[in-house]
Copies of this chain bind each other. A is one copy, B any other.
Amino acid sequence: MPASRPGPNLSRIATSLGVSVATVSNALSGKGRVSGQLVERIREHAAELGYVPSQAGRALRTGRSGVLGLVLPDIANPLFPKIAQAIEFAASAAGYGVLIADSRGDVAAQTEAINRLVERGVDGMVVIPRRATRISSAACPVAVIDTPSTPGNTVAADHWQGGHEIAGHLAGLGHRHILIIGNNQESNVQNDRAGGIRSGMRPGMHSETLWIDRLEQENGSGCPLGLAEKVRQGFTAFAALSDLQALRALTELQQAGINIPTDVSVTGFDDLIWSPVVTPSLTTVRMDMDRIAGIAVSALVDTIRTSSIREGVLVTAEIERVAMQLIVRQSSGPANPAPKTSEMENM
C-alpha cells in the first residue's frame, strides 16, 4: 500500500475539472498548448486546492531532484554560518533545496560525504574544500569556492586583494614591522592572504610570518604565541589571517598589558560574529558571501540546465574573484612612534 500523500495531485485536479492530467501539467508549467482561458481556470483551482507538486514524481520523471549539495569538509569553520546562510538563500531563490554534508576533517571522509550527496541524487554541489584537497570529479556538476589561485576554483573572495588592503591600511598608519599570524601553511586561502599582505607593503617595510599550528605541534594546543616578545622586537602591527587568530592575538597582548591600538595594532580577516563586539572592536576585511554564493549557485544552476547528461564537470563562472572590503574599527591605529625597544632599526 503506497502511502498516499495528503495533498491533491495532478489527477485530482484533472478529474475535478474534467480535463486530462497532461493538460493540467501543461497549464501549470506553461509548456504545451493550452488555451489562456483554461490555463486560468486550472491555475485558480490548483491554488484553491493548495496543490504542491510532488518532488519525488517530478524527480523520477525528469531525473532532476531540485536539490544542491553543500560540502563543508571543515564544518567547524566559524565562517560556516555565513556560508550556509548565503548558499541556502541563493539556492532557495533559484528554486533549489540544500542538502548538507559534513566530513569531519579528513579527506577520505570528504569523498565519502560527496558520495552520500550523489547517492541522494543532488543535481550539483557546492564544495568549500578543506585546505589543498582536490575534488575528484563527482557524478554531477561541482562548484568550488576556495580562492582564485586554486586550480578549478569557480568563484571566491579575492583573498590576495584583501591582504593588499590590510597592508595598505597598516602602511598608511605608519607601521613598518608587521607580524603575519596564520594557522596553517597548507591553506590556499591563508597563503593568498599572506601573499597579498606582503605584496601590499611599501618599501622599507618588513614582515615575518608565524604559523600557529607549527607552534602548537611543539608546545601543545592553545599555547601562548609569545607576542609580547615580538612587540619587544619591534613589531607594531599584528595581521592575523583570520579573525579567530586575531582574537587570540588580541587577548594575549591585552593580557600582557599591551594596549591596543595605542601600543600595537591588530587586524583580522572575515568579520566574524564577535569582531564588532570585542574591545577594541576588530579592524578586519569582509568577504561578500552573498555575492559569492549568488555567483556560485547561478553558475552551478546554469551548468545543470545546459548539461543534459549527469556528468562530473567543474563549473566556471564569469566572475571568479569578488573584492573584499576593509572594515576599519578600533583595533588599528597609528604606529607607536616610540617602540619599547628597537632591535629592528637596523633591518
Contacts and interface: CB of A to CB of B under 8 A. Distances in A.
Interface of A: 2-6, 52, 54-57, 59-67, 70, 75-78, 80-82, 84-85, 88-89, 92, 97-102, 104, 116-121, 139, 221-222, 224, 244, 247-248, 250-252, 254-255, 259-260, 273-274, 276-281, 308-310
A288 to B, nearest CB: 16
Contacts of A54: 60, 121
A274 B82 CA distance: 17
Given A56-B56, A60-B54, A278-B248, A310 B3 contact: yes
Given A60-B57, A279-B251, A310-B3, A116 B97 contact: yes
12 contacts: A2-B61, A3-B62, A3-B64, A6-B309, A54-B121, A55-B121, A67-B99, A78-B81, A80-B80, A80-B81, A98-B100, A251-B280
A85 B56 contact: no
A89 B67 CA distance: 19
Given A81-B80, A310-B6, A59 B62 contact: no
How many copies, total? 2
A279 B252 contact: yes
Contacts of A67: 99, 120
B84 A84 contact: yes
Contacts of A81: 75-78, 80-81
Contacts of A254: 251, 254-255, 279
B80 A97 contact: no
Contacts of A309: 3, 6
Given A75-B84, A85-B76, A244-B273, A255 B281 contact: no
A143 B32 CA distance: 42
Contacts of A308: 3
A67 to B, nearest CB: 7
A135 to B, nearest CB: 18
Contact of A222 (B118, B120, B281): B281
Nearest to A53: B119
Contacts of A99: 67, 97-100
A80 B78 CA distance: 9
Contacts of A92: 101, 116
B279 A4 contact: no
Contacts of A100: 70, 84, 88, 98-100
B248 A279 contact: yes
A102 B89 contact: yes
A244 B273 CA distance: 8
Contacts of A259: 255
Nearest to A7: B139
A67 B70 CA distance: 15
Contacts of A250: 251
Contacts of A281: 222
A91 to B, nearest CB: 10
A116 B2 CA distance: 24
Contacts of A61: 2
A278 B247 contact: yes
A56 B78 CA distance: 34
